[in-house]
Structure 1
């Protein structure tokens, strides 16, 4: 299935979840927020939230700085 992650096209297997999308983009395990089609998905729901064709996923990583 084709989804858009942070503005770029990705091909993910059928049945992919939000967790798969995060893994496709980053190896980070903390400091991450995700929204699918402008709706925030809590971390506890990543592995149980399925993606569908043409979903728009935004994966945001916290960055420290000054």
Structure 2
């Protein structure tokens, strides 16, 4: 199944979840936010929210510095 994650087309297995999509980019345990097709997905729902063909996923990570 093809989905777009942060603007890059990627192959994920059918029935992949938001949590699996996030794992393709980061192992960060905190400071991560996700939107699927412009709708924010709560962290508690990542494991149960499945993705569909051509979904657009945006994974944002907080960065600290100065």
The alignment's TM-score, normalised by the length of structure 2, stands at 0.97
**Whose helix fraction is larger, Structure 1's or Structure 2's?**
1
Q: Output the TM-score relative to the length of structure 1.
A: 0.97
- The two structures, once aligned, show a CA RMSD in angstroms of 0.6
Question: 4+ residue stretches of structure 1 with deviation over 4 A?
Answer: none
Q: Give, in angstroms, the shift of residue 20 of structure 1.
A: 0.5
Once the two structures are TM-superposed, the CA of residue 29 in structure 1 deviates from its matched residue by: 1.2
- 5+ unaligned residues in a row in structure 1: which ranges? none
The number of equivalent residue pairs is: 66
What is the rounded CA distance, in whole Å, between the counterparts of 2:10 and 2:65 in structure 1? 30
